[in-house]
Structure 1
Amino acid sequence: MSADVIAEEGFLRRWARMKSSPEPVEQAVAVEAPVPAVQPPPVEEARPLPTLDDVARLTPESDYSAFVAKGVDKAVQRMALKKLFADPNFAVMDGLDIYISDYNKAAPLTDAMLAALKHAPGVLDRLLGEDEDDHPPAEGEGAPTQETT
């Protein structure tokens, strides 16, 4: 196929045609380059997994990576991380400490706040450009007056 036919056909139509054709589509064969000889990484000596005795010897300057590796007992991991985060360097509040409150418990609105919100429907109607004829009068507003001509 020429490039003009492919460009006119479009991607989706070409994909649908190729998908529905029973003939196998010729695919480009990648020429394999010779693979340079790669030496396997040196095998590390298998260190024994840390225990609770190792946790007792930890200091804030210790390397904690062995305690979070695969295969370490969960109790040992928890104790090591508990010891790590007991360090006062990790107890510093950051700039996001305003978000630590529980916002699931809403504070009740006071009467003063509710009184301040009574004007909101009228302001919103004016801002949104809604006609007052579309809404029934609110309490205390009285019936709309009709002009006579």
Structure 2
Amino acid sequence: MTEPFLSRWSRRKLDTKVQPAPLPPDEARASGEAGVPAPAEPPPDLPPVETLDKDSDYSAFLKAGVPQELKQAALQKLWASDPALMAPEVMDLHMGDYTSPVAEVVKTAWRLGKGVLDAAELAAEAEEKAASEPPSAPPKQDS
């Protein structure tokens, strides 16, 4: 009889797991894996986050080896230091107000149930609209 699919999958999954060999005590201590984490001090060449402004160089905070908390604090300071960075992008297509009805904004030759009208049909439609509107009073002329 064949082995059920899930049992076979589970067994094969467990077979592929390889336990890493333990490091010798000297190497474990050097790499910080001996249970004591390495101190998370910022590199000495970084300025304090409190002194940063919009003209400061933030590239040093984005390099490898900088603690994530310090990197996040520097980026928060950058976004707060320049209002132009917090403002939405003017040319962003997703910033438009798409809640307004399209019929009021765009006039097309397409009509529901009729499709696209040609020039003669558009002219006839305009004449019907003009005939259905009440005539406006003629403007008064001052003499």
**TM (normalized to structure 2)?**
0.33
